[in-house]
Amino acid sequence: MNSTLLLAITESGKADMLMNIAKKAGSTGGTVLNARGTASSSLLCALGLGDSHKELLLTLVSDETKDQVYAALSHAPHAKGLVSAISTSLSDQTKGPAEGWDLVHIICPSGYGDEIMAAARKAGAGGGTIVEGRGTAKEDDIAFFGSTLVAEKELILIFLKKGFADGVLSAVSKLPCMQQKGSGIAFTLSVQALTSLGA
């Protein structure tokens, strides 16, 4: 059975409401992550005035329920942001729509998200969402009082119109923070649908 990942980016405190709407429409559950939106301009970013607290809702739905869950999220009252549908089938990814959107994912060491967003903006991106995370433990990681110390990471999510992803990925790959082996990874997924919440 094929499934679709629905990803909603919304204001802080709204993801639980969206999850309830999704469940009523047929979703069985999801995950809420805390994040921050990036400033719309480099000047606001430098002044620390443009960032905002965000929440991400991730819910995996069957192909039978994806349209009704997507529609319910798209018409959610009292929420602003974006909702997107991304196929989890590899064959659907390779034959994505000629027109539309890509979702760029960039995983980097913690603290470099703003530098990466600045380079992405110069290459045509408007803005993005930064999610804090951590790397997974490896056998050679350091153990400290029974716990493994792992590197903190950031995940940057950027929606781009088709045709802009290669330029953004090229600009980001040239940054010094992405030059060292194992420092990060970047990839794109084709978006089936994208709707602005609260529009």
Phi, psi of 23 (to 5 degrees): -65, -40
Alpha carbon distance 67, 169 (integer Å): 31
Question: And the tokens for 28?
Answer: 């069985």
pLDDT, position 125: 93
- This prediction has a pTM of 0.75
Question: And the tokens for 77?
Answer: 């009252």
Percentage of residues in the chain with pLDDT exceeding 70?
79
* Stronger pLDDT, 142 or 7, i.e. the higher one: 7
Instruction: Flag whether pLDDT at 44 surpasses 60.
Output: no
Cβ atoms 21, 72 nearer than 8 A: yes
pLDDT, position 98: 46
Percentage of residues in the chain with pLDDT exceeding 90?
48
User: pLDDT by residue (tens digit) across 50-106?
Assistant: 568 889 899 989 989 999 999 999 999 989 999 999 987 645 544 444 468 999 999
Alpha carbon distance 99, 188 (integer Å): 15
* Domain 3-197 indexed as CATH 3.40.50.2300: no
pLDDT, position 142: 60
The DSSP letter of residue 122 is: H
Of the pLDDT bands very low, low, confident and very high (cuts 50, 70, 90), residue 151 is confident
Instruction: Flag whether pLDDT at 148 surpasses 70.
Output: no
Count Cα neighbours of 114 within 13 Å in the Cβ-side half-sphere.
Answer: 14
* Stronger pLDDT, 21 or 37, i.e. the higher one: 21
Of the pLDDT bands very low, low, confident and very high (cuts 50, 70, 90), residue 181 is confident
Q: Where in 12-146 does DSSP place strands (E)?
A: 31-37, 52-62, 81-87, 101-109, 129-134, 143-144
Kind and range of the H or E run holding 67: helix 66-74
pLDDT, position 153: 86
pLDDT (average), residues 161-186: 89
* Stronger pLDDT, 197 or 135, i.e. the higher one: 197
